[in-house]
């Protein structure tokens, strides 16, 4: 082991399945082409719930009215600032915003899309997008292991 390649355990990410009128919210940073579910990595010392609330405020200037745990998804994540690729434990929550009609994008774009519209987006992480498109999100299957 060298100082330039520390051993890392899995990163913890938290993402919101934010719905409104049969549509799901996707966000995109201004410097990338791919969309993702709103959310991001949990900071050191931060609770999962607070991380999701913080990222939603930063990304869409909105507040959470209610959130419920849905699933944990293990994905091989490629983060630009972390080499080599690491595993991310992505925790998904069903999120209700206080005022979904009032959201506005922070540093990029936020868009609502139906299942059909979102299936045509480059949605990341790819493994998570594939699970959603395949209808893998069910109460009977809250854990989605990584596929190598």
Give residue-wise pLDDT tens across range 95-114. 999 998 888 888 789 999 88
124/47 Cα distance (integer angstroms)? 23
The pLDDT assigned to 57 comes to 93
Strands, E, within 37-125: which ranges? 39-41, 64-77, 86-97, 108-113, 123-124
CATH level 3 topology of 11-144: Nucleoside Triphosphate Pyrophosphohydrolase (3.90.79)
* Residue 120 pLDDT grade (very low, low, confident, very high; cuts 50, 70, 90): confident
Least confident of 9-23, 51-65, 90-104, 130-144: 130-144
Q: How far is C-alpha 98 from the chain's CA centre?
A: 19
Q: Is the pLDDT of residue 147 over 70?
A: no
- The helix/strand/coil state of 32 is coil
Q: What element of type H or E holds 129?
A: helix 126-133
């Amino acid at each position: 082991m060298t100082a330039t390649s520390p051993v890392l355990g899995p990163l913890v990410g938290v993402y919101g399945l934010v719905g409104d009128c049969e549509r799901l919210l996707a966000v995109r940073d201004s410097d990338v082409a791919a969309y993702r579910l709103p959310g991001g990595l949990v900071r050191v010392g931060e609770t999962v719930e607070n991380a999701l609330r913080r990222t939603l405020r930063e990304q869409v200037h909105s507040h959470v009215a209610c959130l419920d745990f849905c699933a944990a998804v293990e994905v091989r994540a490629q983060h630009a600032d972390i080499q080599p690729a690491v595993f991310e434990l992505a925790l998904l929550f069903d999120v209700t915003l206080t005022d979904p009609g009032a959201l506005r994008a922070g540093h990029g774009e936020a868009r609502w899309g139906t299942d059909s519209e979102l299936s045509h987006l480059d949605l990341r992480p790819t493994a998570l997008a594939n699970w959603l498109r395949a209808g893998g999100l069910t109460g009977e299957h809250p854990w989605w292991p990584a596929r190598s």
